[in-house]
Structure formats: structure tokens, C-alpha cells
Amino acid sequence: MIAIVDPSRFFSRIGLLAMALLMMTIASADCVKDLHGEVYCGAGRCMIDSKGTVWCSRHYEGGAVKTLDGQVLCGRGQCAKDINGQVSCSSEIGGAVLIDSRGRVRCYGQCELATGDNCESIRAN
């Protein structure tokens, strides 16, 4: 008996797997210079907010995304903005995300909202 597979679900899973494999090959820690030349580093991705402050994900391989109002929000996994500007992240440490054809964020594991509590601002030595 041949099983019939929904092509959209199949390609969605292939896309998530490809994203996860790609993220595994990218170095996760990040360092960024602020407007004064000071260097800040984090366990995950770093971004500069609208006030010039550097914020990094406190989680290894975590994501950081700037919102429409210039605030930086972070997550345990990679993060992305949906078509409405809402930032969602994978609930898994280093988990991959992608935006589907309808503009929705799809996550490895579960999606959770990005928060400022998942960010830190630590100057490098």
C-alpha cells in the first residue's frame, strides 16, 4: 500500500529540516560595536536598538530581532517577524524558524513570543 502525503506538509518539514541544518553550521555567538565603539558580545545574536544600546540573546544560538518601534526582543531559538510585525521564536535552544507562504512564523518545537527578558547587554572584556 502506498501512503499519500500532503505535499505542503512534506515541503514544510523539509524546509524546517534544512533551516535546522543550516543553523547548525553557523557560529552562534555574536559581537557588535555600539555607537561609541564599545564591543558587546552574547551567547546568541546581537542587535542595536533605536537608542543605540546593544542587546544580545542570553541563550546559546538564540535569536534577536528589532521590532517596528526599535526595541530588541530575543528568544531561546532563532526568531522572525510575521506579516503583522509580531516577533516569534523557537522554544528550543538554537531551534530554527521560517516564514511560510502566508507570512506566518513556523518554528522547530513550538513558537513562543520573543521577550526583553531573553536579552542581555554585556560589554566584552
Kindly tell me if the per-residue pLDDT of 16 is higher than 80. no
| Long-range Cβ contact pairs of 35-41 (< 8 A, separation 24 or more) | 38/123, 39/123, 39/124, 40/121, 40/122, 40/123, 40/124, 41/122, 41/124
Instruction: List pLDDT tens digits, range 52-92.
Output: 999 999 999 999 999 999 999 999 999 999 999 999 999 99
Please tell me which residue, 6 or 104, carries the higher pLDDT value.
104
Instruction: List pLDDT tens digits, range 45-61.
Output: 999 999 999 999 999 99
- Could you tell me the pTM of the whole model? 0.75
Residue spans per domain, the chain: 28-120
